[in-house]
Amino acid sequence: MINATFVMEQHLGHQTYYQNLQQEVDLLSQIQATWVPVIYPQLTPFWERMPQKLQHVRGTLVARAHVRKHIQRAASDIMFFNTQVPAVLCGRLKNRIPYVIATDITPLQYDRMGKHYGHQPDTPGPLQRYKHALNVTTLRGAAHVLPWSRWTRDSLIRDYGVAPDRITVVSPGVDTARWRPAPRNDSHMLRILFVGSDFHRKGGDVLLQAFRMLPKGTAELHIVTSLDIAPEDGVRVYHLLRPNTQELIALYQSADVFVLPAEAEAFGIAAIEAAATGLPSIVTAIGGLPDTVVDGETGFIIPPGDVHVLASRLQHVLHEPQRRRSMGRAARAYAEDHFDARRSASSIVNCLQNAVEHRAEVTYAL
């Protein structure tokens, strides 16, 4: 058995990843896991009035102290980081034992999508070069890197010089025993589902425009988001549904098609939840989203921001129910093969074991 410390940054969609991974890893007998969630502090009114860069610095310093405290106390054979950020914050401490990094996005990819996330990339200069050098050193120093998608894998090789043989794509998983299809009542109304807290970044406004182009009375749009949406015929909005709850699963199970026409997205766990519940999905060719759909088989991949193409695809699933159901069955099979949380957890633990064994072999040889 190996002892591993899992340092889990809790930012954006990583809470769901953390829940799913912890649930499965803790069931495995070959590993003893210690979990360290990294939660950036809530700002007081004083700090909220400070410039954004100073707010970020304060949050980073608090998180750095939190991570370093737990790493210093840990008696582990290996560390796992769910992004490179806490690995960088560890500084030289992470060099005491091998570590593995999983990530949905590289820093340069995040910079390129920055405007959609409210993120301002550093201006060219010494600070930018220093940060990039830190990221390069941290990523290259990992025993292995586990990107969520091929898109991120390509950036690790191209932008950071990580050796391809030290990279394995391991997509996040969902509990396919809970996230599963349920009998659906055939209806003349197409039930369209959108799930995205960040409504605009995830293309909710594009979907609303495409929905309005469908013949009235032929479809319903169900939106799970944090944004207040103006009342509209055929549109229902849900604000209080939490990740992995039975209420959210039931909403997926009652839908006919899932749509995530994102303008910017690193991966999109909601899309694999849709696949697991047997839904065909319509997603954009952005970030890691193309890994979640086999175009024409489990759903459709469309260009971002193209309302007319999206409306056309919605018309297709509306008027061809047999193909829609066939694509849903294919999506479920694809989720079982590629997005099962138990398989993902096993792949990660196997990687950790291999890294520990390789370290032992090298040490013994020396």
Q: What is each CA distance from 35 to 67, 95, 350, in whole angstroms?
A: 11, 19, 18
Closest CA to 302 of 319, 316, 290: 290
Residue 78: its pLDDT value, please?
93
Range of weakest confidence among 111-115, 166-170, 199-203: 111-115
Q: What is the DSSP string of 198-213?
A: STTTTTHHHHHHHHHT
DSSP state of 313: H
- pLDDT tens by residue, 134-176: 999 999 999 999 999 999 999 999 999 999 999 999 999 999 9
Is pLDDT above 60 for 360? no
Residue 301: its pLDDT value, please?
98
Is pLDDT above 90 for 318? yes
pTM of the model: 0.89
Residue 9: its pLDDT value, please?
86
Q: Find the mean pLDDT for residues 297-306.
A: 98
In this prediction, what percent of the chain has a pLDDT beyond 70?
Answer: 87
Residue 143: its pLDDT value, please?
96
Dist CA 30 CA 333 (whole Å): 28
Residue 363: its pLDDT value, please?
43
Q: Where are the beta strands (DSSP E) in the chain?
A: 2-9, 31-38, 78-81, 99-103, 144-147, 190-195, 219-224, 235-238, 257-260, 281-284, 299-302
Is pLDDT above 90 for 177? yes
Is pLDDT above 50 for 266? yes
